[in-house]
Structure 1
Amino acid sequence: MTSIDSSNAVEEVWGSSVEQIDVLGYPCSSFVKRRRHLGDLLLDGRRFGEREYLVHGDRRLSFDAHEAAVKRVAALLQERDVRAGDRIMLFGANSIEWVVSYWAIMELGGIVVLGNAWWSQGEVDHALRTVSPALVITDVPRSQMIGLVQAKVGFDVIAAAIADLEPTATYVRPVMKEDDPAVVLFTSGTTGLPKGAVLSHRGILATLQSLALLTRRLPNSGAELPRSSKAMLSIPLFHVGGLQQIITPMLAGGTLVFTEGRFDPATVVRLIEDENITVWSTVPTMVSRVMDHLEEVNHAPLPMLRTVGLGGSPVGMQLRSRVPRWFPNASRGVAVTYGLSEAGGVLATGVGDELLNRPGTVGKPLKIVTVRIDDPDENGHGEIMVRSPSVMLRYWSNGDDRAANDPITADRWLRTGDVGWLDDDGYLYVTDRSKDIVIRGGENIATPHVENRLLEHPDVREAAVVGLPHPHLGEEVGAILVLDKGSQVSIDELATFAREKLAYFEVPTRWQLRESSLPQNATGKVIKRVLRDEWAAQIVT
């Protein structure tokens, strides 16, 4: 059986009109004409034929070759008993194998579980227990972290299927619904280990369609194909921003070029020049490090970049103002986004003069996103609440429909945990976070999770973990500890202890050891804001 139903012309299934419809029992703004299943995006990709879709080092895969590879890998996975509704974990570094496997799982009606390639062993074990995947598709470095009883397939097996020139590949594609789960994306909640946000086909497609409309890449009857462009992928595919970047080319017809290995500014600059990269959407720390490198080596500006997208962590005006100096043709294409994993990624975006004329704004909410400010103070500041078809279905929880600390209200408003306000023109400003999260280089870190590990050390009596300003990462992790009287434990020993159970990015990089108890409020809760502000002031001075 063929994998895709091509009965409708691509242009006839997309539109810009929005109306209120019922989504999971509550009214949501939604596009009237839209795709219903992520796998159907392969139909859109067919328009681009021999254009390059993926570039990773010396390997290049066209849209046509990619679809053929997806069919072969889907057939392979079906032979291994992958069925509709099965959770399949992708656990490895960015690669062509990762992308092809993602689309193959979609074709089979499976649910892609995004494994964080930076997890500690404890976090891997937690994820496996939480979602009970039918299969893990993994690379060699991470294969050893998967237990012997867990079924798994190596990226090498996927690579062999991709390289196979045999065209025959048959499998049965099930009928799926819009609100069926498509992806489980682990994100740091306010407490404990990472939680699996369940994103639906409807939700991921709604964000894609909104962004395609903004960038004028939405297919419409009579329009020419979008011109070819090249985007650089420098963030992990297990982040929602990375996931969005592999589906966008199906509408935009662009090429996605992978960076290789650890992030290195000099290597990134060479890649931008060699591949003539025109679009770079990433976290602010990476752009900052590249600009620092260009300045240090007295390199010429990079005029080929036309759009620089910044998201994942706060973007200061100093960084925004530096971008035109080093990427002169992106002066009007500097984009800032605001979003979170539980909302399927981007919720609001702003570009060019919108940002310059409204310092601090993250732009306007997307067309299908409704934002309200909960319990605003006298200045209109309050918690940002969101209702959108892109909001997650729930956190994945074995044996329970609603996990603990579910941020979705009974009438399906998402509590973002962020504090902000809306101006009279509808622009959103994010001013603070009400939840215990540090955002380090785009990676969310639950501070209670780090505190709980530090409190396991026999010499630690009290612990408070806060986010401190960092020029490149946005924030870094700072730990304030009260030790037992007479303790001789060193900071190096404490860091080693933390590293045994925490992912590398969760381990504090700044430490304060003190003898007096931490300040508390009337209910006995540590007043972290005071600790953070005092420490941050010392760093600035």
Structure 2
Amino acid sequence: MSDAKPWIANYPPETAASLEYPRVPLTYFLEQSAQDYPDSYAIYFMGKRITYRELLQMSYQFAHALMSRGVKKGDRVAIMLPNTPQAVISYYGALFAGATVVMTNPLYTERELIHQLNDSGAETIITLDLLYKRVSSIKASTPLKRIIVTSIGDFLPFIKKLLYPLVQKKEGHNPQVPYGSEVEPFLSILKESAANPVQPEVDPVEDIALLQYTGGTTGVAKGVMLTHGNLIANAFQCQAVLYKLKKGKERILGALPLFHVYGMTTVMNKGISIAAEIILVPKYDVKKIFEMIDKMKPTLFPGAPTMYIALINHPDLKNHDLSSIEACVSGSAPLPIEVQNKFEELTRGRLVEGYGLTEASPVTHSNPIWGKRITGSIGLPWPDTDCRILDPATGEALPQGEVGELAVKGPQVMRGYWNRPEETAAVLRDGWLLTGDMGYMDQEGYFYIVDRKKDMIIAGGFNIYPREVEEVLFEHPAIQEAAVIGVPDAYRGETVKAFVVFKQGQQASEEELEKHCRQRLAAYKIPRQYEVRVDLPKTMVGKVLRRQLQDEDKKRREAEDNQIKSS
């Protein structure tokens, strides 16, 4: 592959191939938006609204609170919260204090928490009263020194705030938090702290803003070191691609969790950089999403395919108007063509597929939203993002059209994995990040992912990419979701097994599904086994956990083997 970048010719005229990135800390976005749009709303949360002036003031206060408690530049501060105003205040407050943020999934078990807190060395955590028991139970096994506790009720409108404790009791939640010197309430430390500006001494190129832990789907979770410069760059690249978005005018539906890097960039950092109003959704519930769209009329809805699938298949869909949504970028998993078409028909907006990974802040590619897009493609590399397709065996660059491992290079690519030089060296080579995804580039510079290198199924010597089989299954009118894995086969080495979720009130026999696949796939790619499920295991952003399906299937086979032996 030559050094030419054929994708640049397909950029819309409004998108520059290379951008200027200011050498500033990530907190610059919030200060600029508060300066230019002080009275515009920054956050909407369950009826409560917070302006940019208020958000900046509370972030300064939280920074002072952390610094007065001994948090110094470079210290790690863990944030274990759902999508609430406290999550945004804690994030920017920690950055103003010069700390490195460690976003922590509120669903983490004790074991996962212990690993992340020990690995990162975080001594401070901000969490919910509902999660306090879990956090306090592992405190002694970690470096944690202080726990700052908040409640969903802390930022509710006045009446809802009064009623919230009753709602908690009714639902069987009555968290007992023993406040003291090591366990403090979020609102109290905020109110007692100064609101004067804080200027962190940050080198955007060198200083780590974020330790974002990988999902651990391929082993132990690793801390991805993302600098202020990485995150600034990805937000600027995002704006260059979404060039029609107007400062101070947009409303972003924040259904993606902010503790996931995709939501953090496309909802929070991007939203704050253009002074948008961020509509925070603490839990994805389709009925609540419909209500939110009806009431708040969001213009931008970054999401994952499963979010869009849930909306377009909901029986209440016909009673709601989704036409305010002008643009959506779908990430974290392949976007089925049928979902894209149906969603665009309903919103009259644009839904395009993008691609990224935690190690790249996270976005590297997307289809042009208002330009030429190619169905089934992840689109074009973003400005200043270089890409190659490499032979996985030799590391040599491959010509157009040939399948190999996608490698990317750009200002959004991580510094490396926290305290893991060997694992960093395995994926970062001369600034090139090896993604672990197999794909190819066409003549026009559009990229296609065929699958994870690790998920590829080898049956009878043939390479089978689960995504291709899943796309075909998605085309069946009765199927809502599908996932494909390789399972052991005495004759072929591996064979294809499909897990399917049917649409409400619909069914299809294995014979029907086989006939459907046979018309669209080579014989060796057709699933030999099917399992019907009510749902599929997923990450918080809707990526199907193939590894969990493999583990479950392996346990089931082992149990069957043991039963046969014992009988």
TM-score, structure 1 normalization: 0.72
Aligned pairs (5 A) from 1:266-285: 266-285=287-306
2:149 — aligned with what?
A: 154
Alignment of 1:219-234 (within 5 A): 226-234=247-255
Contact 1:190 1:436 in 2 (8 A): no
Is it true that 1:91 corresponds to 2:80 in the alignment? Answer: yes
User: Which whole-Å CA distance do the structure 1 matches of 2:425 and 2:280 have between them?
Assistant: 35
- 1:306 equivalent in structure 2: 326
Contact 2:409 2:431 in 1 (8 A): yes
Equivalent-residue separation in structure 1 for 2:132 and 2:242 (angstroms) = 39
Residue matched to 1:417: 436
Match of 2:66 in 1: 77
SS of 1:361 mapped into structure 2: coil
Q: Confirm whether residue 42 of structure 1 aligns to residue 30 of structure 2.
A: yes
Q: Given the superposition, is the C-alpha separation of residues 305 and 422 from structure 1 closer, same or farther in structure 2, using an over 3 Å criterion?
A: same
Aligned residue number for residue 516 of structure 2: none
- Deviation per CA, 1:68-88, whole angstroms, max 9, x where unpaired? 111111111111111100011
Task: Check if 1:433 corresponds to 2:452.
Answer: yes
2-structure distance, mates of 1:517, 1:404: 37
Correspondence 1:9-408 to 2 at 5 A: 31-45=19-33, 46-146=35-135, 147-149=138-140, 150-151=144-145, 152-155=147-150, 157-161=185-189, 164=191, 168-169=195-196, 173-189=200-216, 191-216=218-243, 226-244=247-265, 245-261=267-283, 263-293=284-314, 295=315, 298-328=318-348, 330=349, 333-352=350-369, 358-375=374-391, 376=398, 379-397=401-419, 402-404=421-423, 406-408=425-427
Structure 1, gaps ≥5 residues long: 1-14, 20-30, 219-224, 452-462, 473-490, 492-503, 519-541
CA contact (8 A) 2:65 2:193 kept: no
Q: Which residue identity lines up with residue 44 of structure 1 in the other structure? A: Q
The CA distance in 2 between the partners of 1:419 and 1:247, in whole Å, is 29
Give the drift of 1:167: 6.1
| Shift in CA distance, 84/379, structure 1 to aligned 2, threshold 3 Å | same
Instruction: For 1:412 and 1:324, locate their aligned partners in 2 and report how far apart those are by CA, in whole Å.
Output: 38
Shift of 1:507: 5.1
| Letter matched to residue 310 of structure 1 | S
CA contact (8 A) 1:82 1:108 kept: yes
Matched to 1:123, the amino acid is E
Residue equivalent to 1:521: none
> Compared with structure 1, are the counterparts of its residues 337 and 160 closer, same or farther at alpha carbon in structure 2 (3 Å cutoff)?
farther
Describe the shift of the 1:75–1:235 C-alpha distance in structure 2 as closer, same or farther (beyond 3 A). same
Contact persistence 2:380–2:446 (CA under 8 A): yes
| Cross-structure match for 1:528 | none
2 CA distance for matches of 1:85 and 1:190?
Answer: 28
In structure 1, distance between residues paired with 2:497 and 2:452:
12
Listed as ranges, the gaps of 5+ residues in structure 2 are 1-13, 152-184, 392-397, 457-465, 471-482, 488-493, 504-530, 532-543, 562-567
CA contact (8 A) 2:401 2:441 kept: no
Quick check: which one's helix share is greater?
2
Q: Aligned in 2, Cα 1:81/1:167: closer, same or farther, shift over 3 Å?
A: closer
Q: Distance in 1 between the 2:288 and 2:133 partners? A: 29
Report the Cα distance in structure 2 between the residues aligned to 1:392 and 1:471, rounded to whole angstroms: 40
Amino acid at match of 1:113: V
- What is the deviation of 1:190? 6.0
State the identity as a percent: 21
Deviation at 1:365, TM superposition (A): 0.3
The equivalent residue for 1:477 is: none
Structure 2 vs 1, CA of residues 217 and 161 (structure 1 numbering), >3 Å: closer, same or farther?
Answer: farther
Partner of 1:8: none
SS of 1:144's partner is helix
Q: Supply the RMSD in Å over aligned alpha carbons.
A: 3.6
Q: Shift of residue 61 of structure 1?
A: 0.7
Letter in 1 for 2:389: I
| One-letter amino acid of the counterpart of residue 271, structure 2 | P
Q: Deviations over 1:371-397 (max 9, x none)?
A: 000024894111000111211111112
User: What is the CA–CA distance in structure 2 between the aligned matches of 1:166 and 1:302, rounded to whole Å?
Assistant: 42
SS in 1 for 2:239: helix
Equivalent residues of 2:400, 2:441 under 8 A apart = no
Indicate how the Cα distance of structure 1 residues 308 and 410 shifts in structure 2: closer, same or farther if over 3 A, else same.
closer
Q: CA–CA distance in 1 between the matches of 2:498 and 2:423?
A: 25
Change (3 A) 1:378 1:272: closer
1:395, 1:406 within 8 Å by CA — same for their partners in 2?
Answer: no
| C-alpha distance in structure 2 between counterparts of 1:130 and 1:373, whole Å | 33
1:237 to 1:470, Cα distance in 2 relative to 1, 3 A: farther
Structure 1 position 413, deviation (Å): 1.1
Aligned length in residues: 431
Displacement, 1:112? 0.4
- The one-letter amino acid of 2:290's match is V
Q: Is the 8 A contact 1:350 1:364 kept in 2?
A: yes
Deviation at 1:427, TM superposition (A): 1.0
Whole-angstrom CA distance in 2 between matches of 1:85 and 1:260: 29
Q: TM-score, normalised by structure 2?
A: 0.68
What is the alpha-carbon distance in structure 1 between the residues aligned to residue 324 and residue 199 of structure 2?
44
After superposition, give the CA deviation of every residue in 1:215-239 in whole Å (9 maximum; x if it has no partner). Answer: 2279xxxxxx725121111111111
Equivalent residue, structure 1, for 2:565: none
Contact 2:16 2:383 in 1 (8 A): no
In 1: Cα distance, 2:192 partner to 2:77 partner: 25
2:22 alignment partner, SS class: coil
2:182 maps to which residue? none
Match of 2:278, as an amino acid? L
